[in-house]
Structure 1
Amino acid sequence: MIVEIVIFLLTSLAGYFLYRHKWVHRYFEEKGVKYVAGIPIFGNVFKSTFQYKHLFDDLDAVYKAFPDEKYVGYIEGITPIILIRDPELMKAITIKDFDHFVDHKEFFSEEIDSLFGGSLIMMKGDKWHDMRTTLSPAFTGSKMRKMMPFMTEISSNIIEHLKGHLNEDIDVEDLIRRYTNDVIASAAFGLQVNSLKDKDNEFYKTGQGLFHFNIKQRFIFFMSAIFPNLFKKLGVQMFPAKTTNFFRNLVSSTMEHREKNKIERPDMIQLLMEASKGLLKSENEGNDNFSPTEDTFKPKTQQRQWTQNDLAGQVFIFFVAGYESSATALVMCVHELALNQDIQEKLYQEIRSFKEEHGDLTYDNINSLNYLDCVLSETSRKWAAALIMDRVCNKDYELPPPREGAKPVQLKPGDVVYNVVNSIHMDPQYHPNPEKFDPERFSDENKHKIKPFTYMPFGMGPRNCIGSRFALLELKVLMYNLILNFKVLKCSKTTDPIELKPHEFNIKPKGGSWVRLEART
């Protein structure tokens, strides 16, 4: 009897998946949108699901399949998605017609994961707007100026550690993630952590666990995307309770300790405590070092009250983004400099001249390192952590025809669009010889040649990355000190050229990232 029930369920499930696969095809055909047929159950993400390829490769294959289309059909499992290829259309969706595309796709619901699902990234509509308004003053230049000493101190720990490991093979990924871990621990949670001395500290181990999905987690992620309502009812958790409770308890205990002892520290916990009381205000920035992350958010007369759990979600996502995305950029930058000695030498000459002229690196002078800006911008072009800017249509919208002679496509509430990032960054139509690591693309003489909406590592529009100032500062501080003190060299383990490690999301070099360091004289 049990065997018959299992056979019936599997047959029914297979029939459902086959029906949905055909339905997705009809969906695109009725709209006149070209698509790659894909594989039943998996659609266009079969290779990345089983980690034969990176998710970028699956996205890029569809992007390249129809080079003359403004947008094409992309099948994510059994879900039809419009993949936007045209920069002008991306501008319309993310800025001009933003009110039609306010929300992100729900990768994790608040019911399945209260921290990630309750974070700024996953929030929707007015709640998202209110949280973004609340948090915006926390990421102004004046707040970053106060956080820079944390980064400088942790960068010094890295440099001192490396001085004892010259002419050894250095695991760049491990080293960099310990840096970004310690920066976030300090700047967000007010914790003094040195992950190079205390290698198995709880904060680092917990963070590492977030980014290494086991088979069970990958299955939950895949199936919850297909059957979201079922997984909400079942209450299946994406992350272990131990992990989420660690962050939630850390936020609550830190807030309570500071309230009780009247402790103030210029970090994210402090800013959120002020936000919860409505005391977090924007300041006159004056001469700011970084492009503003936003200028469109006006606070409402009636301020929303945030719970401690709401605020914990924001610190959690700040950790997730600050830890992994910043680490990705730094790892790839160090690896590229090992492969491109001429670029590294030019960067060193700029940094050495800067040191002679200015002395110490400060928030007020860091912006004058123009070539460092170019190197980091080129890293973010070639190896952007973003992949896509996903948006959900929240009211009827008409897309222009995908090609000349075709008809417009009507989108309904709930339809999903992916504005591709990495494929645009690596398209020779917009960035000639895209495989070449060439910081000169972003020099004062050349940057005007970059077409708008063909470079967007931090996203675009009101839902761009709120922490871009923080991320850029974190990157600049370490790269400045690293190149000032060491020459980065290839070793026997250094992969050349860099290939991506097969993965669903994270950008990592296949075979890891290994270099040797030589002291500068």
Structure 2
Amino acid sequence: MFVELAIFIISSLFFYYLYVHKKIHNFFVKRGVKFLPGIPMFGNVCNSLFTTKHFIEDLEIVYRAFPDERYVGFIEGTTPIILIRDPELAKAITVKDFDHFVNHKDFFSKDTDPLFGGSLFMMKDDKWRDMRFTLSPAFTGSKMRLMMNFMSEVSHNIMDYLKENNSDEIHVDDLVRRYTLDVIASAGFGLQVNSVKDKKNDFFKMGINLFYFNIKQKIIIFISTQFPKIGKKLGLTLFSKEVMDFFKTTVKNTISYRENNNVVRPDMIQLLMEATKGTLKAGNTEKDEVTTTEDSKSKTVAREWTEDEIIGQVFIFFAAGFESSAGAITMAIHELAVNPEVQEKLYQEIKQFEKINKVLSYENVSQLKYMDCVINETLRKWTAAIFMDRVCTKPYELPPPRKGGKPYLLNPGDIVYNMVNVIHMDEKYHPKPEVFDPDRFSDENKHKIQPFTFVPFGMGPRNCIASRFAILEMKVFLYDLVLHYKVVKSKRTSDPIRLHSNDFNIRALGGTYVKFEPRD
């Protein structure tokens, strides 16, 4: 029996190699696109799939293999993908010719994961445009002014906790995720959660379960993206039923309570409730609101959203705001610990600011110019975006990948990856990319940064809708922390910082551990 099984497996792999792997190779060869052969069945993602490297490193290997190409071939399992290396070409795809590349690729369908699949991130075409327009009022300046109050309240809770419980060494990953969890619970769900006091609350537990990607989950993702029919037949889902049921129940109960008790709160659930009733005022009317071409195409929100679609938007807001923001804040603190001269310069700015303004507010936060530089440099080195995927929706001709090459015709369904992290770490665009140097983004130097070589929140109309929220969340916490504590290295503070390869998130290998020394 064992011999027969072994023969079957070997024969299947041989068949795959002959008819699929070679087919992908020929696909690129015939079109004059350079590529690395990869490993049969896994292509160029074998290292990250089996957690020997981070996914960014798999992308970087292919990106750096052909330094003179405008784009190259990338093999993700059994899928051929065009990896865009040229910032100007990325600009054309994501902005100028956006109508050819409106959608993301399918990670999980709405059938298998109704919340993730029905979220703004996965919505397509006009449905995406309508939902984007529906949500845009949640992130205007006036809404951020209100949400900053939630952020400050949570940040002060963390500072009070540290004053009473500061130890020789702080696990920053855990502490910061409790901050971002509490902010999202308040700004997204209208719930008061204090995760540093109630360490085992359901919200925090579900958030951690949501983003712990072990090898089993990575294989599920691989099967579902590379062999979607098999994944659907097996009933594979990205998130557990327990997590999904928790979010559904929480949102439903919150909506029911507000309707029955006439409760109004300035958060995302309230916004979506108004949208479904047709009472939501059109967005993008404030002076400080940047309106994209796509946002402005609609003047009213006429579509009726299903219950799962409403819950899906709150869910994706939670997912992005909890983990991505936490990763960025944690890496900023780690960089401050290993770059004390940067931290001192930031502290002096905050100290002087506090002496003049007394209180941090939405009206004066923009005065912290060096804080902006520190955050931008953190997002350059450690952005969560990794790449901006786009699916071709109508035929599009790419220019030749090199001088003397031939144009490449993209057909509907073809996928392109516009690089983010590896562009940020390319010495061609950012000299000495491994060095944490916030002065790159100073008023004197930022004009030297080539357009579309710093895109931490994506590109074009389909960029991150909550970028302003994320930056404000970082500023509030870093302001309070650096004002009251000096961040210093401990025995477990890694230097230089290397990425943990066990998941898709941005985390330091071994975690981020530092000491917080109270300032006088």
Q: Secondary structure at the match of 1:164?
A: helix
Matched, 1:40 2:40: yes
Q: Secondary structure at the match of 1:493?
A: coil
CA contact (8 A) 2:213 2:502 kept: no
* Equivalent pair of 1:142/1:285 in contact (CA under 8 Å): no
- Distance in 2, matches of 1:459 and 1:340, equals 27
Q: Give the 5 Å matches for 1:50-69.
A: 50-69=50-69
Q: Could you tell me which residue of structure 2 aligns to residue 437 of structure 1?
A: 436
Q: 1:303 to 1:17 in 2, by over 3 A?
A: farther
Provide the rounded CA distance (Å) in 2 between the counterparts of 1:250 and 1:386: 28
Q: What's the secondary structure of 1:469's corresponding residue?
A: helix
Shift of 1:8: 3.8
Matches within 5 A, 1:108-507: 108-166=108-166, 168-282=168-282, 288=288, 292=290, 294=292, 296-297=294-295, 298-299=297-298, 303-507=302-506
Q: Secondary structure at the match of 2:480?
A: helix
More moved, 451-460 vs 126-135? 126-135
5+ long unaligned stretches in structure 2: none
Mean alpha-carbon deviation: is it higher for 209-218 or for 106-115? 209-218
1:411 partner amino acid: L
Supply the AA of the counterpart residue of 1:38: G
Q: Give how far 1:54 is off.
A: 0.6
Fraction of identical pairs, as percent: 61
Q: How far does the alpha carbon of each residue in 1:112-160 deviate from its partner, in whole angstroms, 9 at most, with x for none?
A: 1111111111111111111111111111111111111110010001111
CA shift, 1:275, in A, is 1.6
| Distance (whole Å) between structure 1 residues aligned to residue 353 and residue 287 of structure 2 | 20
Q: Secondary structure at the match of 1:207?
A: helix
5+ residue gaps in structure 1?
Answer: none
Contact (CA 8 Å) 2:129, 2:294: kept in 1 or not?
Answer: no
Pick which of 484-493 and 218-227 moved more.
Answer: 218-227
- 2:133·2:283 contact (CA, 8 Å) conserved in 1? no
How far apart are the structure 1 equivalents of 2:88 and 2:284? 33
Listed as ranges, the matches of 1:95-106 within 5 Å are: 95-106=95-106
Q: Deviations over 1:249-306 (max 9, x none)?
A: 1111110110111001111111111121222224676563xx7374541325571111
Residue matched to 1:517: 516
Assess if the C-alpha contact under 8 Å between 1:140 and 1:282 holds in 2: no
Task: State the AA in 2 paired with 1:249.
Answer: T
> Hey, what's the Cα distance between the residues in 2 that align with 1:301 and 1:473?
29
Map Cα deviations across residues 165-199 of structure 1 (whole Å, 9 max, x no partner). 44510000000001011111111011111111111
Structure 1 residue 240: Cα displacement: 1.3
Q: Secondary structure at the match of 1:398?
A: strand
The residue that corresponds to 1:84 in the other structure is 84
> Which range moved further: 17-26 or 98-107?
17-26
> Counterpart amino acid of 2:442?
S
Q: CA deviation digits over 1:447-497, x for unaligned, max 9?
A: 011000000000010100000011011111000000000000001110011
- Secondary structure, in 3 states, of the residue corresponding to 1:209? helix
Q: How far did 1:6 drift?
A: 8.2
2:214 and 2:502 in contact (8 A); partners too = no
Q: Match of 1:193, SS?
A: coil
In the alignment, the residues of structure 2 paired with residue 112 and residue 224 of structure 1 have an alpha-carbon distance, to the nearest angstrom, of 10
Q: What is the distance in 2 between the residues matched to 1:114 and 1:181?
A: 22
Over 3 Å counting, the alpha-carbon distance change for 1:293 and 1:67 in structure 2 is farther
In 2, the alpha carbon distance for the partners of 1:59 and 1:348 equals: 36
Q: CA deviation at 1:19?
A: 2.1
Following the alignment from structure 2 to structure 1, what is the Cα–Cα distance between the partners of residues 420 and 356?
Answer: 38
Equivalent residue letter for 2:304: Q
In 2, the alpha carbon distance for the partners of 1:504 and 1:20 equals: 28
Aligned CA RMSD, in angstroms, stands at 1.7
Tell me the amino acid that sits aligned with residue 421 of structure 2.
Answer: N
Report the number of matched residues.
Answer: 519
Shift of 1:343: 0.7
Contact 1:74 1:82 in 2 (8 A): yes
CA contact (8 A) 2:45 2:76 kept: yes
CA contact (8 A) 1:393 1:415 kept: yes
Tell me the CA shift for residue 16 of structure 1: 2.7
Structure 1 position 341, deviation (Å):
0.7
Asked whether the 8 Å contact 1:293–1:465 carries over to 2, the reply is no
Cα-to-partner distance string for 1:476-519 (whole Å, 9 max, x where unaligned): 10000000000000011100110111134111100110100111
AA matched with 2:115: L
